[in-house]
Copies of this chain bind each other. A is one copy, B any other.
Amino acid sequence: MAQATTLPRNETGIATALGILKQRFGDNFQTGQAIREQHGHTTTWIVNQAPDGVVFPQSTGEVAEIVRICAAHKVPVIPFGTGTSLEGHINAPAGGISVDVSRMDKVLAVHPEDLQVVVQPGVTREALNTHLRDKGLFFPIDPGANASLGGMTATRASGTTAVRYGTMKDNVLALEVVMADGSVIRTASRAKKSSAGYDLTRLMVGSEGTLGLITEITLRLQGIPEAISAARCSFPDVDAACRAAMTAIQFGLPVARIELLDVLSVRAINTYSKLGLPEEPLLLVEFHGSEAGVIEQIETFRAIAEEVGGRGYEAAATPEDRNRLWKARHDAYWAMQTLRPGTKAFATDVCVPISRLAECVTAAQDKLAELGLLGPIAGHVGDGNFHAALLVDMENAGERDRADEFVGWLNDLAISMEGTCTGEHGIGQGKMPYLARELGPATAWMAAVKRALDPDNILNPGKIVTL
C-alpha cells in the first residue's frame, strides 16, 4: 500500500530534542521500540511509521514546553489520543515526537446550567459519560471506538448520533490550543453563539493536529432524554432501506440514530454477538424525547418503513434489548473481521447527499462483486455516510491492488455525486490524493493557512495537505 510516504528527517534536530526531552521529562519520555510502534499507525493496512520518542505531558504548560523544544530544533510534534484513527493520522513520516495526552484526562469543570463541560484532551467519551451520569447529562457524539475527546475534536469525528446531534464541529464550543511556537490561545468564549472574528474553533476542529495541539475542550452537553425508543426493520434490498431513511429525514422525523447494515454485516453480527436477526438489509433506529413523543415517532417511522417494503419491524421491548442491539452495531467492525479470519480490514468512509445514497451503496455492492472483494457495509444513512469494511488477504498482491482500485473508485464516485471521500474518518495520510480531487483549488488555500500557522511544518507533517 502506497499511502504512507516518507518525508526527509532532520536527524540533528531530532537527536538534540530527544536529549532535552529525556532530561526534562525523565520516565514520562519513552523511546523503546514497542512503545514507539504503538504510537504509530496500527489500525488499518497503512504502514506503521513510528515516532522517535513518546512524551506524556500532564498539563498545558508541559505541552507548550514540548512544542517550544521541538520548535527550537525543527522537530515534528504528533499529538496522540487513543490511536484509533484510521487514515495514518498519528504516523511519523519525518520522525519526531509523539505527544500522548492520555495522562491529561481530567474533567476540569461541569456547568450543568449551561449544558457544558470543560475537559482535557485525554478524557475518553466513555469516561466523560460515566462522569456525567449522575448529573442527568450526556455527551452524545459516538464514533464507536472509545476515542479521546482530543482525538475526536482533531478528526471532526461523528458516528451514529450525528443525524440528531451533529458532529464534533457542532458540539465543541471553545478550545485551548498550543500553537506551533508554543504559545497558548483560547479560540472562543463559553457563549453558546458568537460572531467574534474568525472561527478558530472550527478551523482547529478537523485539523488533525496540523495547526495546533488541543489542550482543553469546552463541549456542549445534552440532558438525558426522558424517554428512548428503538426499533429494527428489515428490507428486501439496500435501496429500499436507504429510501426509508431518506423519507424519514425529509419528513423531519427527529431520529437520534438511523443505521443501515447490509446482509453481510447482519450475518457478521449475528455470529459475533449471538443474535438471530433475519439475514436481510436492516435499519436500526432510535428516538430520544418525551414518553409520548418517542411513541409517536417510532410509529411514524414504522409507517414510512413499511411503505417502501420494510418487514419484520420490531421495537425493542426493554432497555436491555435496546442496548444489546446497539452493542452489536458498535461491535460490527470487529464482527465483520471474523467473516474472513486472517485478513486486514480497511473501512471506506464516503458521504453523499442523501438523494444519491441508495444509488451509491448499490453501486458499491456491485463493484465489490465485480472485483471479487468481501466488503460488508454499514452506514450512518441519515447523514448519507456509509462504510464498506474491505477484508483483504494482505499476502495476495492482486487482491490488495483490487482493494486499492475499489477505494479509489468509490471515493471518485462519491465526489462525482457531490459528496466527500470522508464523512468522519478524516484525511490523514490515506486520503490526501482524494482531498485534492474533491476540493481542487481550495487545497492550495488550506496549504496557505497551514504555512501561516506552522511556518516550519513541525505540527504533524505529511497529513491533510501537501506543502
Taking Cβ atoms with an 8 Å cutoff, the residues of A that contact B are 111-116, 155-158, 162, 166-167, 169-170, 179, 183-200, 202-203, 205-207, 211, 222-223, 225-226, 246, 249-252, 290, 292-293, 296, 349, 351-355, 383-385, 414-415, 418-427, 431, 435, 438-443, 445-446, 448-453, 464-465
Separation in Å of the A307 CB from the closest CB of chain B? 16
B353 and A197 form a contact (CB under 8 A): no
A selection of 17 A-B contacts at a CB cut-off of 8 Å is A113-B353, A114-B354, A115-B250, A156-B199, A186-B440, A191-B384, A192-B383, A193-B423, A194-B420, A195-B426, A195-B427, A197-B442, A197-B465, A200-B442, A223-B251, A225-B252, A226-B252
Q: Which residue of B lies closest to A293 (CB)?
A: B293
In angstroms, Cα B435 to Cα A195, docked, is 10
Identify A446's interface contact among B183, B186, B200, B438, CB under 8 A: B200
Taking the closest CB of chain B, its distance from the CB of A66, in whole angstroms, is 19
Whether B292 pairs with A185 at a CB distance below 8 angstroms is: no
Q: Are A199 and B205 in contact (CB under 8 A)?
A: yes
This chain's copy number in the assembly: 2
In the complex, A431 Cα to B197 Cα: how many Å?
A: 10
Given contacts A186-B442, A296-B293, A452-B452, contact A464 B197 (CB under 8 A): yes
Across the interface, do A195 and B202 meet the contact criterion of CB distance under 8 Å?
Answer: no
Most chain B CB neighbours (cut-off 10 Å) among A157, A207, A290, A450: A290
A191 touches B351 (CB 8 A): yes
- When C-beta atoms are compared, the residue in chain B nearest to A351 turns out to be B191
Chain B residues with CB below 8 A from A423, complex form: 191, 193-195
Contact B383 A193 (CB under 8 A): yes
Q: Let me know if A187 and B442 touch, CB within 8 A.
A: yes
User: B203 near A199 (CB under 8 angstroms)?
Assistant: yes
Tell me whether A193 and B385 are in contact (CB under 8 A). yes
With A222-B252, A442-B185 as given contacts, are A195 and B156 in contact (CB-CB < 8 Å)?
yes
Chain B residues whose C-beta falls within 8 Å of the C-beta of A112 in the assembled complex: 250
Whether the Cβ atoms of A198 and B464 lie closer than 8 Å is yes
Establish whether residues B189 and A198, one from each chain, have CB atoms under 8 Å apart when the complex forms. Answer: no
Instruction: Collect the chain B residues with CB atoms within 8 Å of residue A352's CB.
Output: 191
Contacts of A170 in B (CB 8 A): 166, 170
Q: Nearest chain B CB to A311's CB is how many angstroms away?
A: 24
Is there contact, CB below 8 Å, between A116 and B353? yes
Partner of A419, one of B116, B166, B191, B246: B191
CB distance from A222 to the nearest CB of B (A): 7
A211 vs B167: C-alpha distance when bound (angstroms): 25
Q: Which of B166, B179, B202, B223 contacts A203, CB < 8 Å?
A: B202
Closest Cβ of chain B: how far from A298's Cβ, in Å?
A: 13
Minimum distance in angstroms from A51 CB to a CB of chain B = 23
B441 touches A189 (CB 8 A): no
List residues of chain B with CB within 8 A of the CB of A441: 183-185
Closest Cβ–Cβ distance, residue A440 to chain B (whole Å): 7
- How far apart sit A441 and B415, CA to CA, in the bound complex (Å)? 38
Given known A114-B354, A186-B439, A453-B445, contact A196–B420 (CB-CB < 8 A): yes
Look across to chain B and name the residue whose beta carbon is closest to the beta carbon of A422.
B195
A418 touches B195 (CB 8 A): no
How many angstroms from the CA of A202 to the CA of B442 in the assembled complex?
13
C-alpha spacing A383/B173, complex, angstroms:
13
Q: A183-B441, A188-B420, A197-B446 are in contact. List 18 more A-B contacts (CB 8 A).
A: A113-B250, A113-B354, A156-B194, A185-B445, A193-B385, A193-B424, A196-B435, A196-B439, A197-B443, A197-B464, A198-B206, A200-B445, A200-B446, A202-B202, A203-B203, A445-B453, A448-B452, A451-B452
Q: How far is the CA of A292 from the CA of B192 in the complex (A)?
A: 29
B449 and A191 within 8 A (CB): no
| Cβ distance A187 to chain B, nearest Cβ, rounded Å | 6
* A439: chain B residues within 8 A (beta carbon): 185-189, 196-197
